[in-house]
Each structure stands twice: as structure tokens, then as C-alpha cells.
Amino acid sequence: MFRNVAELVELAESQNKKISDIMIEQEVKVTNRTKEEVLAQMERNLKVMEEAVERGLAGVKSHSGLTGGDAVLLQQYIATGKSLSGDLLLDAVSKAVATNEVNAAMGTICATPTAGSAGVVPGTLFAVQNKLNPSREEKIRFLFTSGAFGFVVANNASISGAAGGCQAEVGSASGMAAAAIVEMAGGTPSQCAEAMAITLKNMLGLVCDPVAGLVEVPCVKRNAMGAANAMVAADMALAGITSRIPCDEVIDAMYKIGQTMPVALRETAMGGLAATPTGRELEAKIFGFSLDKKS
Amino acid sequence: MKYKSVFDIIGPVMIGPSSSHTAGAARIGKMARELFGREPEWATISFYGSFAKTYKGHGTDVAIIGGIMDFETDDERIIQAREIAREKRIRIKIREEEALTDHPNTARIRLGDQNGEMELVGISIGGGKIEITELNGFALRLTGHHPAILVVHEDRFGAVAAVSKVLAESKINIGSMDVSRQDVGKMALMTIEVDEPVEDIVLEKLKMLPEVTQVTKIAD
């Protein structure tokens, strides 16, 4: 069993395998199931992700009315052909947003690694597939590769916003996505780890400050930026750029930052954007009272 | 290693919006329901920490109520759980507690009917994964590193031997075992961490034992 990214990369490279192979093999061993069963379960998760993106791109609205419809706006903008950051990047962003808008509307999603960060991995996957034309199995492998990196973060740091801030959720998701993009694009296991490190470094210190305690503002837009961050970092790693700080040390830094983060900035709706005048106003409008008054 | 499966990371499939506050809460509720063994007539749910501050926005309350009615994390009925509970005449009380707990996402559930009561404390550690830290006042000492099962049984001779015999026959190795009881001859609890995944058929065999009143898998 791999305990950190260094071991994961070493396992893959010494056996001339992909990160996804190592994750699949470990899953088979730990859960005592066949490879086919494990792949089939991931295929079901992939299906849920596809349906969520589809639903989000058709347009959803959350119960609070705070979020919804932005994925549609982005798709319409891409269609004008005037986008500055590029159609593929914006496609990833819009699909990440689509998933998270469905999540905010209490729709069915697959947590990757959490619900609040569920947009980044499928958003990037469904965008890069248009360029890389992966097989069904390669798409399933994308999820195992991202899962392998998320597995290390979950066991050595945290994937909970309440425990480690949004860096633990959208930050982890972005790093996972970046690594998986690299593998799908033909990069090496080391390059996957570099992409993960580069992404995560740029998400460090990200606070979890949901307005009105809802997984909507700023969560949906953070999934957008997480997807963009993953795409850029994946390209950097594929270009041969490495992270000066090794991936495992970045994960450790994230853990320590999470521990020193004040409670007000860890999913309590007591600080950050939740505590802005507009944040408090929205909260009062939705619930008829302010969470601040109760604390 | 708290997380053992890739599906703890890529999954669960769930109703939004929060894996720890919605899916994790549903799982804590479902665990309480399984350990209680039947649909309760009433439930008192106490929220602590981040759960207490933000449960309304995350649907933590409806998720936990759904779990108590045996709904899975992806059951769309979770959204209407309060109405469904009302139709079933299950009395629900929600309490927001100020007390600080070890984990920011903590819930205490009391369930009951004419035949008995049960109390459980669960924490939601992220990504939909949960741990049960207390049952009927017994602190559960779980490392979270291995699959674990919880056996509620009558405190009498032979109970521990009967349970360990079933596990041995199923080729399951016990890594650690903790036995505690309320009083001599009263309800007792075995917390067993094992090395191999526990199939449902093993749980069924344990449930058939005369001394055993309830068996639940509390960690995979």
C-alpha cells in the first residue's frame, strides 16, 4: 500500500506502470474484489458525473436562488468564439461549474473528493476528452489516477473544509485533476506528481467561508478556478516544469496550514466572505436571521 | 490510514450539497437506524461545531433524518425527509449545541420507541466518511485503520467465544477487540477490528447467535 506520493510514483515507475494501474491493483487487494468489479463501480461513478454535467449545462437553480445558470452563460460565451483564455479551458470551467450548480441544487453528484469540490475532476475530464479522444477505460482510469492522489491527501492531510479549509477540498480536487490530466495526455507518473504539487501550492491557504453556510458562494466559482488551475498546472508539468517543493511536502504544508487556520475560516460561516455585509444580508434573507447573531 | 478505498475519494454518489454535512450525516443517521434495528418513534438530534452552525444550509438535518429512515446517501427522498418523517409519525427534535467537541462535525442521535432507547455519537471526517465515537455512553476506541464491526449482546458467558468462533470460521482475523458492559448481565458491546473485509453473510451469521442482539459494520 502506498502511503505518500513518493511511494506511489516509485511503485508505478519501477514496474513501468501508470498511476491508475497502481490504484486499481491496490483497490482490488484492499477490498478483496475483482478488477472487473472495481472498474464497474468506477464506471457507475463516471455515469453519475456525466449526468450531472448534462443537467447543469441544461440549466439549474438552487433552492436559495444564490447559484445556477452560470454554466449555461459560459457555454453561450464559448459559442461566440470570442473567448480570451481559450475554448478548452473555458469548457473545463463551465463543466466544473455545471456539476457544482447541480450539487448546490441538491441534485445527484459523485463526491470527488467532496461534494463542495465535485466539479473540478469531471469538469476537466469532460473538457480534455474532446482533445485527447480517450477510450471509455481511459476515462475510468482518469478517476483512478485522481483518486490515488486524493487518497494520499486524505490520509496525510485532510479533504474536509471544516478541518482544513477550502484548500483541502477544491485544492485537493484541483491537484487530483491536474495529475489525471497529465496521465491521460501521456505524461509520466513523476509528471503527474509535479502537476499535483504545482496545483496544490497555488491553492494553499484557501479558506472555507461559505455565505450563509451554503455550498454555493464562493464554492461554485472556486470549482471554476480549481479547474482552470488544474489545466494550467497540467500543461506546465507536461512542458517539463517541476515543483521546487516535492509533492508530499506540499501536502504536509497544506495539513499544517489547515491546523493553524482559525475556526472562523473553516466552514463555520463566521468569517471571510460569509462575514461581509453582503454575505450577512444574503444569509438574513435566506434564513430570516444571521448565523453571526447566534455565535 | 483512515481512508482505505479509492471510492472514499471518488464517491460517494450522493445528494448535494456537502459530502461531510449531507452524505456523512445521512450515513451517521443510517448507522443509528441499523444499530437501533427498527424504525424509531422519536429521534433527538444534537448538532455540534460546524454541524450546529451550518446544518440548515447543508441539509444536514434532512440528511440525518433520511438516514434514520434507512435512506442511502443518493436517495432523492432525503430532500423531503422531514415531511416523510411527519407522515410516518416519527417525532423529530433538532438541538444546536454550543459545547466544543473533538471534531468540528459531530452529531449525537437519540432514538427510541416503547421498547427502548439508543444513543450514538458520530463524526463526519470528510468526503462522506464517518466514524462512530460513542454508543449508549460507551466510548468506542477505534483506530479507523481496519474494518470494524460492532456487536451488541447480552452480558453472559460464551458470548465472546461464540462471536470469535464465527469470525474464525469465516477466516477473519481479529486485530483488536474491546468488550464493555453497562452492568453484570446487562447490555454489552464488542468492538472488533479485523484484518479482512467483512461480507454481509458473516454479519448475518453473527446476528443468528442467541446472545447477540445487533450487529453492524461500522467501518469498511
pLDDT tens sequence across A67-120? 999 999 999 999 999 999 999 999 999 999 999 999 999 999 999 999 999 999
Q: Which residue of A has its CA nearest to B49?
A: A268
Q: Is it the case that residue B220 has pLDDT exceeding 80?
A: no
Q: For a pLDDT cut of 70, what percent of chain A falls above it? A: 98
- The answer to whether the Cβ–Cβ distance between B19 and A105 falls below 8 Å is no
- The answer to whether the Cβ–Cβ distance between B57 and A215 falls below 8 Å is yes
pLDDT of residue A233: 98
Residue at grid coordinates 477540498: A169
Q: Is it the case that residue B131 has pLDDT exceeding 60?
A: yes
Q: Is it the case that residue B182 has pLDDT exceeding 80?
A: no
- The answer to whether the Cβ–Cβ distance between A106 and B7 falls below 8 Å is no
- The answer to whether the Cβ–Cβ distance between B9 and A105 falls below 8 Å is no
The reply to whether B15 touches chain A by the CB within 8 Å rule is yes
pLDDT tier at A289 (50, 70, 90 boundaries)?
low
Gap between the Cα atoms of B150 and A93, Å rounded: 44
- The answer to whether the Cβ–Cβ distance between B196 and A32 falls below 8 Å is yes
- The answer to whether the Cβ–Cβ distance between B17 and A216 falls below 8 Å is yes
The reply to whether A161 touches chain B by the CB within 8 Å rule is yes
Q: For a pLDDT cut of 90, what percent of chain A falls above it? A: 91
Cβ contacts of B22 on chain A, cutoff 8 Å: 115
* Residue among A110, A266, A295 whose CB faces B13 most closely: A110
Gap between the Cα atoms of A146 and A153, Å rounded: 11
pLDDT tier at B77 (50, 70, 90 boundaries)?
very high
The reply to whether B216 touches chain A by the CB within 8 Å rule is no
Gap between the Cα atoms of A176 and A196, Å rounded: 6
| Cβ under 8 Å to A: B residues 167-196 | 196
pLDDT for A242-285, tens place per residue? 999 999 999 999 999 999 999 999 988 899 999 999 999 999 98
- The answer to whether the Cβ–Cβ distance between B1 and A107 falls below 8 Å is no
Cβ contacts of A108 on chain B, cutoff 8 Å: 13-16, 74, 76
- Nearest CA-CA distance, residue B157 and chain A, Å: 34
pLDDT tier at A294 (50, 70, 90 boundaries)?
very low
Q: Which residue of A has its CA nearest to B57?
A: A214
Which of A103-107, A194-198, A249-253, B97-101 comes out lowest in average pLDDT? Answer: B97-101
The reply to whether B56 touches chain A by the CB within 8 Å rule is yes
Mean pLDDT of chain A: 95
pLDDT tier at A290 (50, 70, 90 boundaries)?
low
Gap between the Cα atoms of A292 and A282, Å rounded: 12
The reply to whether B50 touches chain A by the CB within 8 Å rule is yes
- The answer to whether the Cβ–Cβ distance between B13 and A107 falls below 8 Å is no
Q: Residue A96, class by beta-carbon neighbours within 10 Å (0-12 exposed, 13-18 middle, 19+ buried)?
A: buried
Gap between the Cα atoms of A215 and A218, Å rounded: 8
* Residue A128 grid cell: 480534455
pLDDT tier at B41 (50, 70, 90 boundaries)?
very high
pLDDT tier at B196 (50, 70, 90 boundaries)?
confident
Cβ contacts of B58 on chain A, cutoff 8 Å: 213-215
* Residue A277 grid cell: 455585509
Q: What is the CB-side half-sphere exposure of residue A92 using CA atoms within 13 A?
A: 28
Number of Cβ pairs closer than 8 Å across A and B?
182
**Rounded average pLDDT over A139-166:** 96
Q: Does residue A286 contact residue A212 with C-beta atoms inside 8 Å?
A: yes
pLDDT of residue A295: 43
**Rounded average pLDDT over A154-175:** 95
**Rounded average pLDDT over A218-231:** 98
**Rounded average pLDDT over A5-25:** 98
**Rounded average pLDDT over B44-51:** 94
Residue A54: how many other CB atoms lie within 10 Å: 14
Which of A15-19, A30-34, B74-78 comes out lowest in average pLDDT? Answer: A30-34
Interface probe with A: pick from B7, B9, B94, most Cβ of A within 10 Å? B9
Exposure class string for B65-87: b at 16+ Cβ within 10 A, else e: bbbbbebbbbbeebbebeebbee
The reply to whether A162 touches chain B by the CB within 8 Å rule is yes
Cβ contacts of A213 on chain B, cutoff 8 Å: 53-58
- The answer to whether the Cβ–Cβ distance between A116 and B12 falls below 8 Å is no
Q: Is it the case that residue B200 has pLDDT exceeding 80?
A: yes
pLDDT of residue B129: 87
Cβ contacts of B105 on chain A, cutoff 8 Å: 160, 162
* Residue A17 grid cell: 506502470
pLDDT of residue A14: 98
Tell me the pTM. 0.89
Q: Is it the case that residue A293 has pLDDT exceeding 60?
A: no
| Cβ under 8 Å to B: A residues 216-255 | 216
pLDDT of residue A243: 98
Gap between the Cα atoms of A56 and A50, Å rounded: 10
- The answer to whether the Cβ–Cβ distance between A155 and B2 falls below 8 Å is yes
* Residue among B6, B16, B57 whose CB faces A105 most closely: B16
**Rounded average pLDDT over A168-181:** 98
Q: Which residue of A has its CA nearest to B74?
A: A108
pLDDT tier at A292 (50, 70, 90 boundaries)?
low
- Cβ contacts of residue B136 below 8 Å, gap of 6+? B118, B119, B120, B182, B187, B189
Cβ contacts of B74 on chain A, cutoff 8 Å: 108
